[in-house]
Amino acid sequence: MTCEAEPAPRVTVDPHDLALTDENVPRLAWYHTSTQPDWPTQDLDPAAQLTQETRQRMGGDAHVARWAERQRAKALHVGTYEAAIHNMLRRIDDQGDRGAQFYLYRVRLVPTISVRQGWLIDPSNFVGDVVLNEVCPPGTDVARYLNYHEDPGAISLALGRTAIDSTQRVAIPMTAEEQPSWVIEAIRELDSASVTSPSPSGTRPLGRRRAPSPRTSTAREFAVSLTDQLPVNLRWQFESAAGFSDDLLPEEWTRYVRGMMDLILDPSRILRALDNEPIRQH
């Protein structure tokens, strides 16, 4: 319709999605990724890590208390396995979570939850937040919405902590014993590539940007070639997550990238690992 992204036509739900049947919602497994090892935190205190200087910049303790209350009023989000992995890649790419340890959660809901009728168009704001009582009126525990941003077209849920019955958790990406041929080749080429950036040639100034080393360039070429195997809407975020720096060991980098690939291309291995994890009741 226009060149702007906001009013552009978007995806819609599959009318045969099992999650559209109210009775199925608590029977299905739902997923979430987080850097929190105890998600969802039962006694969440958003202000716990704020320094006194930050509190003063926010306007003092009264302002901090109101801010913390708004944070606690936010809905939790769960969705498909694909949406959970997409969420992790998005956070690595644009929320500064590169290098953080992520956890994949399988979520089971309380069997007696009340599900809001129908589904909503993605109600999240530009940072992904949803105020729980705006989508779940009194007497409603869960609201379905069409996810625009992660696994677009799939149903995700906005819910409160009391709707969660249990979770299982694995740290991701996961390592694997066997090494595909590209891993062996990548380690060999990275080991032989120099970590010294080439000297600038000619009279054209390079500014403050330093040319990448041959090793970094080689890793980037491998990352780009691997993206051809991935769904098109994950490629640029995967490339960002697979970024290389010369302080990384080639074995460390390939192990991480291999694990990220498996999250997308071999989900059955990840789900089997979840099957063997203890169930944490909430």
- Report the 3 state secondary structure along the chain: CCCCCCCCCCCCCCCCCHHHCHHHCCCCCEEEEECCCCCCCCCCCCCCCCCHHHHHHCCCHHHHHHHHHHHHCECEEEECHHHHHHHHHHHHHHCCCCCCCEEEEEEEECCCCCECCCCEECCCCCCCCCEHHHHCCCCCCEEEEECCCCCCCCEEEEECHHHEEEEEEEEECCCCCCCCHHHHHHHHHHHHCCCCCCCCCCCCCCCCCCCCCHHHHHHHHHHHHHHCCCCHHHHHHHHHHCCCCCCCCHHHHHHHHHHHHHHHHCHHHHHHHHHCCCCEEC
Give the start-to-end residue ranges of the domains of the chain: 18-45+63-172, 176-194+211-281
pLDDT of amino acid 204? 55
Residue 148 binned pLDDT confidence (cut-offs 50, 70, 90): confident
pLDDT of amino acid 41? 78
Region at 167 (left for phi over 0; alpha for psi -120 to 50; beta for the rest): beta
The values of phi and psi at residue 85, to 5°, are -70, -40
**pLDDT surpasses 70 at 16:** yes
pLDDT of amino acid 8? 58
Mean pLDDT of the 244-258 span: 91
**pLDDT surpasses 60 at 208:** no
pLDDT of amino acid 207? 52
pLDDT of amino acid 2? 58
**pLDDT surpasses 90 at 106:** yes
Mean pLDDT of the chain: 86
Full-model pTM: 0.85
Mean pLDDT of the 42-49 span: 65
pLDDT of amino acid 264? 95
